[in-house]
Every structure is written in structure tokens, then in C-alpha cells.
Amino acid sequence: MSLSEDRTRAYLLGALTGAFAALSVVAEERRRALFGTLSLVCGAMAVVYEERADRMSGYENPDPTTSLAATDETESAED
């Protein structure tokens, strides 16, 4: 069984998220914000690729309120 390209990217970005988060804890003060930001960006991209991989595999989320698309729709409806 092999992973899809999107899921592989999601896992690699998830690993980078953890690495940058760990670096932000031990880094000197000037670099903490940089590593924290990189961690946040990698985490967001990992979520996007995971969602895309789920869509491509036909996975149906049992709780549609946790999906990124559902969150975007509810936020725009509230505005």
C-alpha cells in the first residue's frame, strides 16, 4: 500500500511543523517568531493537503463542521 502524493506531503509538512515548533522553543529570542511562523505555515499547509487527500480518496467526514470548506462557508454566512 502506498500513500498518495498529497498525503505524503501532508505527513512531511506535519513533521516540519513539529521540527519548527521544537526549534522555536529552544531558539534564541530573535528567531523564535521566525520558527513559530514557519511552524504555523507548515501546519496549515499540512491540513490543506490532508483535506485534499481525503477528497481524492473519497473519504466522507462524518462531522462536516470540522471540514475546512464547512468552516469557510459558515464564516462567510456570518459576515
DSSP-assigned letters across all residues of the chain? ----HHHHHHHHHHHHHHHHHHHHHHS-HHHHHHHHHHHHHHHHHHHHHHHHHHHHHTPPPS-GGGSHHHHHHHHHHH-
pLDDT band at 40 (very low <50, low <70, confident <90, very high): very high
Q: Which one is predicted more confidently, 59 or 46?
A: 46
CA distances from 66 to 37, 39, 40, 48 (A): 23, 21, 19, 13
State the residue range of the domain holding 52. Answer: 5-78
Of 5-9, 48-52, 56-60, 71-75, give the lowest mean pLDDT range.
71-75
pTM: 0.65
Count of domains in the chain? 1
